Amino acid sequence: MKFNSYFVKLDHSENSFTGNLIIEDKSVPANFKKVENDFFIAYFKNQIKLKYRETPVFKNKKKSLEILLPVLNKYNKRKLGRIIRILEKLNPEDPGSTILDLLSIDKFLRIQKILFFFSFEKQDIIDILIEMELNRKIKIIDFNSLYIMSHDHFQNYLNELKSLLNFLFENRINTIKFSEIEAKIKISQSSILFKYLLSSLDNLFSFKILKDKILLEKVSLNEKEKQNIETIEGLLKESRRQVFSIENILKSSRLKYNEVNDSLWYLVEDEQLIQLNQNYFIFSADLTKILNRLKKFKRNQGETIDIQAFRELTMYNRKSIITLLEYLDSQNITQRVGDKRKILLKA
């Protein structure tokens, strides 16, 4: 593995300077910045492959330096001081201690990146890591890259996520976006750790992992919420509204906006209801009937249908038909061709 910068030990009076090192018989320029005492960071323009305690000489051959550790992250002044203390007692012949020392600086560590540098054999390190995990010192997140973190840090993140899901469950909030989880626990939703944390709680919480959110599957309704849903279903059946909005329900009921909104979103997440656009909904059963009728129409009358034929097929009003057709277009169920629709469903 190559790196752009390394911690090195070097006897030099200046706090920062530029010099050329002979690496693999080539002159390689580097910028040096003192951290403390004889410890410097060597910065290279391109990534360079070096090993622990390698001693490249300067081009003028007046002095050499000792390579101690690749710079694995960006460090503030406090962490740099702690790294120096580690470098002063670094002992790669005891990989377990070296790994724990590095984890005391960084929350996460990809051991794969430093196998070559320390001349570690991968299988030997895997055996050491497994033993360390059994002793609750570390947590192995990914065996491929040997991505690990300290056991304590892992438990802290896991407890934060557990508390968040408990709050959702207790307050009957059945969905949360990954972006909201990311903001709460400060872990990127694209990271391996994020996915690992979610999978670690799958046995405690029943939830589905969707594209950009999770859906808690056992969020029960209280009696009032059940009554609200029954009221909404009754009103829609009585008014014969197949395509409807929150406003339609509010006009014909005494329910409050948040009661209607919560009820509809529960039905959407429970897949009883389909959201057609930002304002309008349809019951899944009604949409299924329409799709079956479209298949039959395609078999018997051809793959193209106009608005009048669609009205006869559904018995919906014009506004509902337009809303529904726009949804079907967006789902590649139909395709607009002039003032008609091509039915894309298999007959």
Residue 202's pLDDT band (cuts 50, 70, 90): confident
Q: Is 285-343 assigned to CATH 1.10.3720.10?
A: no
Phi-psi label, residue 140: left if phi above 0, alpha if psi -120 to 50, beta otherwise: beta
Other CB atoms within 10 A of residue 161 CB: 20
Distance CA 83, CA 9 (A): 13
Asked if pLDDT for residue 220 goes beyond 70, the answer is no
- Could you read off the pLDDT of 97-113 as tens digits, one per residue? 999 999 999 989 999 99
Strand order in the sheet with 273-275: 243-245, 280-283, 273-275
- Could you read off the pLDDT of 238-274 as tens digits, one per residue? 888 889 999 999 998 889 998 898 888 888 877 899 9
Q: Which CATH architecture has domain 152-216?
A: Orthogonal Bundle (1.10)
Beta carbons within 8 Å of 70's beta carbon, 6+ residues apart: 1, 3, 5, 6, 7, 50, 113, 114, 117
Domain ranges of the chain: 3-149, 152-216, 223-271, 285-343
pTM for the complete prediction?
0.62
Percent of residues, the chain, with pLDDT higher than 90? 72
Asked if pLDDT for residue 205 goes beyond 90, the answer is no
- For 234, 288, 289, 294, 310, the CA distances from 314, given in Å and listed in that order, are 20, 12, 9, 10, 6
Beta carbons within 8 Å of 195's beta carbon, 6+ residues apart: none
Give me the pLDDT at residue 238, please: 87
- Could you read off the pLDDT of 309-332 as tens digits, one per residue? 999 999 999 899 999 999 999 999
Distance CA 39, CA 336 (A): 69
Give me the pLDDT at residue 219, please: 59
